[in-house]
Structure 1
């Protein structure tokens, strides 16, 4: 399979998961970024590695990452007012860095 076909297929899979996750984002209970009830997602966790999650989007070296993309402006970041760390529909039992990024990124807008 050609590289372009693989990129297109990956894009379509991610877009489909984002479309499916978007309606669910409203169902996730919002958690204050200051709430220590949930742990911060660790970059070395299996879930984080599966989606190439990084705490600092400026340090991401991934073909799908575009400048300016970060958790804080992602549709799946379920509390856009959260500062520093906030809830994410993709990682429901953890808080993610507002300035982080993963391959499930869906632009808010």
Structure 2
């Protein structure tokens, strides 16, 4: 009788172990969608105002630190260069900035 209990335990262990292995890839699907849920940075945001962030770099032409051609898309801090419209920036975590935007934290890529 003990042999039979051990066999059932082994079977049960293998059965639940395989369920656990199947659940791991499914659990990862929820993690990949969080980046898409980020909201766009507003020009009225206090952090954006502190760094003179604008959605359109041409609006920063009067700022002394701005040089022609500087945009978020060609900034080192713009962390996803493949994002052509809005993308993440390490200066504004959890927010998306305009690829055509500019702020005083701009660093050449």
- TM interval, shorter chain, is 0.5 to 0.7
Cα distance between partner residues in 1 of 2:47 and 2:94: 11
Post-superposition CA distance 1:68-104 (Å, at most 9, x none): 0000000000000101100000001100000000000
Q: What is the aligned-residue RMSD (CA, Å)?
A: 1.7
Tell me the equivalent position of 1:82.
83
TM-score, scaled to structure 1: 0.66
Q: Say which SS state the counterpart of residue 59 (structure 1) adopts.
A: helix
> Mind listing any 5+ residue stretches in structure 2 that lack a counterpart?
1-31
Tell me the equivalent position of 2:95.
94
Cα distance between partner residues in 1 of 2:52 and 2:73: 16
Which is richer in strand? 2
Post-superposition CA distance 1:25-58 (Å, at most 9, x none): xxxxxx99xx640000000110000000000001
Tell me the equivalent position of 2:73.
72
Moved over 3 A (4+): none
Q: Say which SS state the counterpart of residue 87 (structure 1) adopts.
A: strand
TM-score, scaled to structure 2: 0.66
Which is richer in helix? 2
Cα distance between partner residues in 1 of 2:95 and 2:41: 5
> Mind listing any 5+ residue stretches in structure 1 that lack a counterpart?
1-30
